[in-house]
Structure 1
Amino acid sequence: MLLLTAASCSRDTFFQPDARVDFATPLPAAADSARVTAGRHYHRGPGGRLLLGPHYRRAWAEPVTLPVLTPATVVPGGLAFAKMGGGFQTISMTMTDSAGRSYAVRSIDKDPYKTLPKALRQGFILATVRDATAAAMPYGAFVVPPLATAAGVLHASPRAFYVRADETGLGEASEKFRGKVVLLERKYEGKPNIDGPVAGAEDLVETEDLLPNRYASQRHQLDGAAYLRARLLDLWLGDWDRHEGQWSWAAYAQPGHRLLWKPVPQDRDQVFFRFDDGVASWVVSKLVKKFRTFRPRYQSIEGYTRNASFVDERALAAVPRATYRATALDLQQRLTDAVIEVAVRQGLPPEVYRLEGPRLVASLKARRAALPQAAEKFYRLKSEQVLIAGTDQAERFEVERLNDTATVVSVYSLENDKVGRGETLLYRRRFNPQDTRRVRLHGLQGKDEFVVSGSVRRSPFIDIYGGPGEDLVQDSSRVAGLRKRTRFFDTARNNDFRPGPETKNKTAHNVFSHAFDRDGSGR
């Protein structure tokens, strides 16, 4: 019955007509603030809350006072419309200031209409999926900046505004944004935006532009330690939506003409997510693991991190267990009670703080206490299978099966004349087969060498993907047991293949093994 009632909400009438509480009365031209609700259409009666969950409905429906967005004065020199955004659920656009710096403007409310198959874009399914937006804390993103600062993680600093119902200063986007509560923040993408938290960077790009460069040249390296720090902050905040599109990367010059890329997290719309508190939403949470609820105890680490698995696999490949624990302990020291309390009180509107603030503060403190345990689970999850990729230049991969608890993988450059003599080591990590079941080596293009040695009783499986070009594979290792622990995937011809007793030949008369997803487009 409740779902049938929800189905009666058509596409045009589901959302509030205007965020202003008294929208029937025109807003004075000189008004600099307005009394608004983020989404009073998420209010439900007792039956609806029982079935679908209380979520953050009170926060969405609670009237708060927000400043009115005035494009001409919101930043020095004003903002001008640049282009519409391409988000599937959020109405978004890019604006620029007089210096060419970019700003994102996004509606706080969401509409998942375009994410559903056409056959489901109507009736109770659409209405129920739309209702799930109430599981997000509408003002959560504004709590994050001081926490990220204390944690040592680069970040943007969003602000909330109301867009007038008669606004005309947003160019062709004016009609879409009228009457809405929006988030305004700097976009840290592109060289014109190198300032503030990324001052001193050489370049500033999105993930889809970074990774192809990383795999093309040894000059580019990802800062795994900085990325881990950002990811542990994500876990602590319960931010499960960290796919590759949610990151920018700032490049910093290193010796040997190299660039070290540090992550800049973006879009904090899903922090403090609260979902499994209704009958129907509890069932969905058991079926869709990524919908994890923020509470004092961590839920599934695998669920929290599923959306970020593509970037995690590439950025955390060199990070050892000790760094996970050390980073978690450091975050515990940085994220003090005072930091948490000030961030929550200043980030939430006073009316919403009274509803949610004390509970949010208590949950953050409890999760902070358990952060080292969460980091250990995260390490185990990400260390079960490890991807080590070279570049399109020539590398030598050395696998040393030292003993039953240590297999060391090192990657050296064979391009000394290009990267500088004496700086040939690109990668090194020690693997314990108790933690790591399989290591996948991708040589990509270039004439690569793979050398495997050592005699042990236990070792991870080593999968070698030579990639295009002629490669050398030499395996003199031995591991006790009947199953061969070194496998070579490549074309059947044009390689110098020197197998040993531990080598399983998986070459074929096709190039399927050369496939490697460089930017996430192959998923």
Structure 2
Amino acid sequence: MISRYALPFLLLTTVGCARQTFFQPDARPDASALRPGADSARVTAGRHYRRGALGRALLGRHHRPAWVRPVTLPVLDPATTIPGGLRAGKVGGGFQTISMTVVGADGRGYALRSVDKDPYRTLPKVLRHTFVLNLVRDATAAGHPYGAFVVPPLAEAAGLHHTNPRAYYVRNDETGLGPASERYRGRVVLLEEKLEGRQNIAGRLPGANELEESDNMLAERYQSPKHRIDEATFLRARLLDLWLGDWDRHEGQWTWAAYPQADGRTRWEPVPQDRDQVFFRFDDGLISWLASKAVAKFRTFGPRYQSIEGYTRNSRYIDEHVLTELDRAAYMSTARDLQRRLTDAVIEQAVRQGLPREVYAQEGPQMIAALRARRDQLPQAAADYYTLRAREVLVAGTDADERFVVERLTDSTTVVSVYEIDPPAKRADSLLYRRVFNPTDTHQVLLHGLKGDDVFELRGSVRRSPLISIYGGPDEDQVRDASRVAGLRHMTRFYDTSRNNDLEPAPELKDKTSHGVESHAFDRDGSGR
């Protein structure tokens, strides 16, 4: 066993200081010139990830065989790859990948980004020239270079929106990508249609009239009750993420398609993007195993699910703000439906179609077997995911006036409903939200009124109930708590400023108002997480 004192020395002697020439100079192992007009080339995604026996034992085998395996890929020709050709657009600002937008003759955008990554700029400056940079760079091999290409048929079978990425080699003398040409030369790249911005809707998302990033979509959702999120589709997408072992699904990995409804409302449907971390394999070396214990989000894809909490840590914010209304039955029925859709034939076709022929030969059957095993366990993964999401649930209103009703009906049933109040229409309140909570699953429900003059009503007498925490928001709010939880006190708590609110004293109500406005803080876009 390696002692904790010997490990730092072993790290230093194994990986040394930051290597100045870490990356392969060209994806083609053969240094000879590529003949003019060649439409394919023999390439490797990353020969620099090759390690000897000691390196694999310490750093992990990861997906090194796929990175170093020579494969045949088409050559990117900006003039002919897409009918009508591609012209260079805006260069992206990604910290790890080389990225830019290229535009087709019809005005539609495509993302062109390197398959390999360089995390140099993600590290603090003090670490950028140490062995730590070597370790972090090497960890790129934990991601599968061709994993993203397996996903589209699986997403299609699951009934989800998806892009259709393709892999290319960029010639080492390419000039057709404008000033950015030099940055792409000699690299393996991914080209996929961009599903963001109104110009990219036509022919791709029939019926949609907008494509927005998560922060813009949530801004609309919290501003007006006329905007609703398609939670059922988002849950389906998140269960697919778990199945694929895709742990990096934060709010920046989604765009949202807006579908106008007959009643004048808008339904927002999720569009998953950036499948860089599917089939992630990390904890198969001494150092990477230790790192996986320290960083819970680095969960490995295999025949068994690892920590559901780890798989979903990066997505905590978007999960909390979108998955608010669905109950356990919805999670389980969605998992069973995915099992029916993701047949053995669908899985095999996706893996055969997505992996280069040479990579499929060395690992395709194992990937298929792992996907089948995980599919069979999907209901249990969904149950664990529900348990995690149900512990504490956010129920947010909008900037309009709303009425929140909490009914403590039985020891296992607490119903939370939210109604729209629309005085100008002089009509009855309309239901915006309803969910039944069981205190066995849910410890706390957070009610956020946001702006508007909101009303909070609680009733019912029980022995057990979730804690109800009310955040009134900056406008005038009313709280009427006629509920009782036997043997417990203050199972309702109200957070707001001391003024301009109407509270009736009640045994369960704990007045947590203060002179400050800290209770009005609400993270609408993920910037405060």
Structure 2 unaligned residues grouped into runs of 5+: 1-9
- The answer as to 2:109 corresponding to 1:102 is yes
1:140 aligns with one of 143, 147, 153: 147
Structure 1 partner of 2:457 = 451
Cα distance in 2 between the residues matched to 1:149 and 1:215: 30
Amino acid across the alignment from 2:128: R
Structure 1 partner of 2:214 = 207
Q: Which whole-Å deviations, capped at 9, do the CAs of 1:48-91 have from their partners, x for residues lacking one?
A: 00001111111000000111111121112111111111211111
Structure 2 partner of 1:16 = 24
Alpha-carbon distance change, 495 to 144 in structure 1, aligned in 2, over 3 angstroms = same
Cα distance in 2 between the residues matched to 1:440 and 1:331: 31
The 5 A counterparts of 1:185-196 are: 185-196=192-203
Shift of 1:421: 5.0
Of the structure 1 ranges 193-202 and 129-138, higher mean CA displacement relative to structure 2 is found in 193-202
Confirm or deny: 8 A CA contact 1:344 1:353 kept in the other structure.
yes
The 5 A counterparts of 1:349-498 are: 349-415=356-422, 417=424, 424-498=430-504
Shift of 1:254: 2.0
Cα distance in 2 between the residues matched to 1:478 and 1:471: 21
Cα distance in 2 between the residues matched to 1:79 and 1:423: 52
Structure 2 partner of 1:243 = 250
Shift of 1:2: 5.8
Shift of 1:9: 5.1
Alpha-carbon distance change, 245 to 173 in structure 1, aligned in 2, over 3 angstroms = same
Alpha-carbon distance change, 305 to 107 in structure 1, aligned in 2, over 3 angstroms = same
Cα distance in 2 between the residues matched to 1:81 and 1:424: 49
Structure 1 partner of 2:522 = 516
Cα distance in 2 between the residues matched to 1:334 and 1:154: 15
1:157 aligned counterpart, secondary structure: coil
Structure 1 partner of 2:16 = 7
The 5 A counterparts of 1:45-194 are: 45-194=52-201
Confirm or deny: 8 A CA contact 2:422 2:429 kept in the other structure.
no
Confirm or deny: 8 A CA contact 1:2 1:48 kept in the other structure.
no
- Counting matched residue pairs gives 520
Of the structure 1 ranges 479-488 and 46-55, higher mean CA displacement relative to structure 2 is found in 479-488
Q: How many percent identity over aligned positions?
A: 66
Amino acid across the alignment from 1:130: R
Confirm or deny: 8 A CA contact 2:89 2:102 kept in the other structure.
yes
1:408 aligned counterpart, secondary structure: strand
Cα distance in 1 between the residues matched to 2:218 and 2:178: 34
Q: Which whole-Å deviations, capped at 9, do the CAs of 1:110-141 have from their partners, x for residues lacking one?
A: 11111111111112110011000000111000
1:409 aligned counterpart, secondary structure: strand
Cα distance in 2 between the residues matched to 1:2 and 1:477: 60
Alpha-carbon distance change, 146 to 416 in structure 1, aligned in 2, over 3 angstroms = farther
Cα distance in 1 between the residues matched to 2:149 and 2:85: 22
2:445 aligned counterpart, secondary structure: strand
The 5 A counterparts of 1:282-301 are: 282-301=289-308
Cα distance in 2 between the residues matched to 1:416 and 1:162: 61
Shift of 1:195: 3.2
1:86 aligned counterpart, secondary structure: coil
Confirm or deny: 8 A CA contact 1:154 1:197 kept in the other structure.
no
Amino acid across the alignment from 1:25: S
Q: Which whole-Å deviations, capped at 9, do the CAs of 1:393-423 have from their partners, x for residues lacking one?
A: 11111111111001001101012646x9567
1:255 aligned counterpart, secondary structure: coil
Amino acid across the alignment from 2:29: V
Amino acid across the alignment from 2:457: V
Cα distance in 2 between the residues matched to 1:135 and 1:450: 49
1:232 aligned counterpart, secondary structure: helix
1:324 aligns with one of 315, 318, 331: 331
- The answer as to 2:258 corresponding to 1:234 is no
Q: Which whole-Å deviations, capped at 9, do the CAs of 1:17-38 have from their partners, x for residues lacking one?
A: 011111x211112111111000
Confirm or deny: 8 A CA contact 1:3 1:128 kept in the other structure.
no
Structure 1 partner of 2:270 = 263
Shift of 1:505: 0.4
TM-score when normalising by structure 2: 0.96
Confirm or deny: 8 A CA contact 2:411 2:462 kept in the other structure.
yes
Cα distance in 1 between the residues matched to 2:420 and 2:231: 19
Shift of 1:483: 3.6
Shift of 1:5: 4.3
Confirm or deny: 8 A CA contact 1:93 1:104 kept in the other structure.
yes
Cα distance in 2 between the residues matched to 1:471 and 1:224: 28
Structure 1 partner of 2:7 = none
CA RMSD, Structure 1 to Structure 2 (Å): 1.3
Structure 2 partner of 1:28 = 35
Structure 1 unaligned residues grouped into runs of 5+: none
2:313 aligns with one of 301, 306, 313: 306
Cα distance in 2 between the residues matched to 1:445 and 1:8: 54
Cα distance in 2 between the residues matched to 1:14 and 1:499: 68
